[in-house]
């Protein structure tokens, strides 16, 4: 590890306290110049570091491998953590080296520079202000069951974020806090010679983004935990809470293949049930429908205006929006 990486590690584990040159140089023999240079490198990489009286400190809590391991020591599945400084996308990183990651591995990045969203969209994230997480799984399932995982993940994430306010699920993959999107889910699959080898469950959570961090066009529909709670939140606690909730649903489902526990939560917390929406599918004009249900396969059951029958929508093919042009 380089000196700046050591310094970052100590800053993360010392947060919110300061790290002085004296204490740092006791552990890593270096000159004051080396210490200052390491601080400059962290600043240039846009880590949230500040100085006070020749000491350094982080202005935000960052992902800490040791804290995560401590917080998840009793989870139902073992979760090895891989924390990267800056990578284009944690999902792409996980997919590119899929076979090298064991089941339950969690890939995280302090800064995700080219995050991917659903339906080919981008997912932007500012250094240290959002969580970019990819969970590697190898369940024995056929590809028909894939949409179920979005609902299972949404239920777990919605539960984990309840501590920060009124969370809801906007089918299929958005978590909404006080009416605005705070987190999104992108599940990608890994195939080998037509055989489903496994899944990468990607999650992005806006933790400390400020209004200035959002493009103007997103301000009315996106938010962060910081904006809503006016508090600094600990990403490690959020990640651990999510994994605890996820493991519960996932291990139960592996044993019983019953979807009721998480689908019933998706229905209870749905931001869409009973609402009128516009349904967007590729190459077709939007259609107006009323949301009637979410079935046991995780499909959204809608009633299109003028149709006698109800129609199930699969999450892979559709996006939906409030018909009043609002977000939900
Ligand atoms: C969406 O709402 O459209 C889904 C957003 C998913 C973003 C996460 S961040 C971690 C993981 N890596 C990616 O490139 N995307 C997902």
The CATH number that applies at residue 177 is 3.30.930.10
In a shared domain, residues 153 and 31:
no
Question: With a 6 A CB cut-off, is 95 part of the ligand 1 pocket?
Answer: no
User: Which protein residue has the closest C-alpha to ligand 1 atom 7?
Assistant: 204
In a shared domain, residues 78 and 53:
no
Q: Give yes or no for a contact between 222 and 184, defined as CB atoms under 8 angstroms apart.
A: no
pLDDT of residue 324: 63
What average pLDDT score do residues 29-56 get? 93
* Gap from CA of 184 to ligand 1 centroid (Å): 6
- The parent domain of residue 291 ranges over 276-322
In a shared domain, residues 294 and 194:
no
What average pLDDT score do residues 145-150 get? 90
Q: How far apart are CA 208 and CA 294, in angstroms?
A: 32
pLDDT of residue 219: 86
What average pLDDT score do residues 32-49 get? 95
How do residues 72-103 score in pLDDT, each as one tens digit?
A: 999 989 999 999 999 999 999 999 999 999 99
Q: Token pair of 233, please?
A: 């939140």
Answer whether residue 292 shows pLDDT above 80: yes
Instruction: State the pLDDT confidence band at 143, using cuts at 50, 70 and 90.
Output: confident
Instruction: State the pLDDT confidence band at 317, using cuts at 50, 70 and 90.
Output: low
Question: With a 6 A CB cut-off, is 172 part of the ligand 1 pocket?
Answer: no
Residue predicted with more confidence, 290 or 318: 290
pLDDT of residue 124: 81
User: Which protein residue has the closest C-alpha to ligand 1 atom 9?
Assistant: 204
SS3 of residue 318 by DSSP: coil
pLDDT of residue 7: 97
In a shared domain, residues 35 and 89:
no
Average pLDDT value for the chain: 93
Q: How far apart are CA 111 and CA 237, in angstroms?
A: 18
pLDDT of residue 146: 86
pLDDT of residue 253: 96
User: Residue 200 CA: which ligand 1 atom is closest?
Assistant: 11
User: Residue 131 CA: which ligand 1 atom is closest?
Assistant: 9
Q: Is residue 229 part of a domain?
A: yes
pLDDT of residue 274: 96
Answer whether residue 238 shows pLDDT above 60: yes
In a shared domain, residues 94 and 130:
yes
For the residues of 242-305, what is the DSSP string, one character each?
A: HHHHHHHHHHHHHHH---HHHHHHHHHTBSSTT-EEEEE-TTS--EEEEEEEE-TTSPEEEEET
pLDDT of residue 203: 98
Smallest CA-to-CA distance from 196 within 139, 259, 255 is with 139
Answer whether residue 223 shows pLDDT above 80: yes
% of the chain exceeding 90 in pLDDT: 82
Q: Is residue 177 part of a domain?
A: yes
pLDDT of residue 53: 77
Question: With a 6 A CB cut-off, is 118 part of the ligand 1 pocket?
Answer: yes
In a shared domain, residues 248 and 135:
yes
Answer whether residue 328 shows pLDDT above 80: no
In a shared domain, residues 191 and 73:
yes
Question: With a 6 A CB cut-off, is 89 part of the ligand 1 pocket?
Answer: yes
Instruction: State the pLDDT confidence band at 326, using cuts at 50, 70 and 90.
Output: low
Q: Is residue 182 part of a domain?
A: yes
Q: Token pair of 164, please?
A: 């920060």
In a shared domain, residues 254 and 307:
no
* Gap from CA of 134 to ligand 1 centroid (Å): 9
Please list, in sequence order, all residues whose beta carbon lies within 8 angstroms of the beta carbon of residue 206, skipping any fewer than 6 positions away.
Answer: 129, 130, 182, 183, 222, 223, 224, 225
Q: Is residue 327 part of a domain?
A: no
In a shared domain, residues 186 and 73:
yes
% of the chain exceeding 70 in pLDDT: 98
In the listed set 58, 78, 94, which residue is the last one of a domain according to the structure? 58
In a shared domain, residues 48 and 80:
no
CATH of the domain at 311: 2.30.30
User: Residue 174 CA: which ligand 1 atom is closest?
Assistant: 2
Question: With a 6 A CB cut-off, is 61 part of the ligand 1 pocket?
Answer: no
User: Residue 181 CA: which ligand 1 atom is closest?
Assistant: 2
pLDDT of residue 3: 96
Q: Give yes or no for a contact between 259 and 148, defined as CB atoms under 8 angstroms apart.
A: yes
What average pLDDT score do residues 227-234 get? 97
User: Which protein residue has the closest C-alpha to ligand 1 atom 11?
Assistant: 202
pTM for this predicted structure = 0.95
Q: Is residue 14 part of a domain?
A: yes
User: Which protein residue has the closest C-alpha to ligand 1 atom 15?
Assistant: 116
In the listed set 15, 42, 58, which residue is the last one of a domain according to the structure? 58
Largest interatomic CA distance in the chain: 78
Q: Is residue 117 part of a domain?
A: yes
Residue predicted with more confidence, 167 or 218: 167
In a shared domain, residues 75 and 47:
no
* Gap from CA of 239 to ligand 1 centroid (Å): 15
Domains of the chain: total = 3
Instruction: State the pLDDT confidence band at 260, using cuts at 50, 70 and 90.
Output: very high
Element (H, E) at 176: strand 174-177
pLDDT of residue 126: 87
Q: What is the CA radius of gyration of the chain?
A: 21
In a shared domain, residues 167 and 202:
yes
Q: Is residue 328 part of a domain?
A: no
């Amino acid at each position: 590890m380089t000196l700046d990486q050591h310094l970052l590690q100590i800053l993360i584990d010392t947060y919110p306290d300061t790290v002085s040159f004296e204490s740092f140089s006791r552990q890593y023999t270096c000159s004051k110049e080396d210490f200052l240079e390491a601080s400059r490198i962290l600043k240039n990489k846009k880590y949230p570091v500040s100085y006070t009286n020749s000491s350094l400190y982080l202005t935000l809590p960052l992902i800490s491998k040791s804290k995560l391991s401590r917080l998840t020591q009793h989870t139902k599945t073992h979760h090895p953590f891989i924390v990267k400084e800056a990578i284009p996308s944690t999902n792409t990183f996980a997919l590119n080296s899929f076979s090298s990651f064991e089941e339950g591995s969690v890939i995280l990045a302090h800064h995700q520079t080219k995050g991917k969203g659903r339906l080919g969209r981008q997912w932007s994230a500012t250094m240290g202000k959002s969580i970019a997480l990819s969970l590697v799984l190898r369940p024995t399932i056929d590809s028909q069951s894939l949409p179920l995982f979005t609902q299972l993940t949404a239920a777990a994430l919605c539960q984990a974020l309840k501590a920060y306010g009124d969370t809801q699920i906007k089918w299929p993959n958005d978590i909404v806090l006080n009416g605005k999107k705070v987190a999104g889910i992108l599940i990608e699959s890994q195939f080998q010679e037509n055989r489903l080898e496994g899944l990468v469950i990607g999650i992005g959570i806006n933790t400390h983004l400020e209004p200035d961090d959002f493009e103007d066009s997103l301000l009315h529909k996106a938010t962060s935990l910081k904006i809503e709670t006016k508090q600094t939140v600990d990403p490690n606690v959020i990640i651990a809470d999510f994994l605890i909730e996820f493991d519960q649903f996932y291990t139960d489902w592996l044993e019983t293949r019953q979807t009721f526990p998480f689908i019933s939560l998706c229905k209870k917390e749905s931001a869409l049930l009973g609402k009128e929406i516009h349904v967007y599918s590729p190459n077709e004009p939007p259609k107006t429908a009323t949301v009637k249900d979410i079935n046991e396969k995780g499909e959204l059951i809608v009633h299109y205006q003028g149709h006698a029958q109800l129609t199930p929508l699969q999450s892979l093919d559709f996006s939906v929006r409030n018909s009043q042009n609002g977000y939900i």
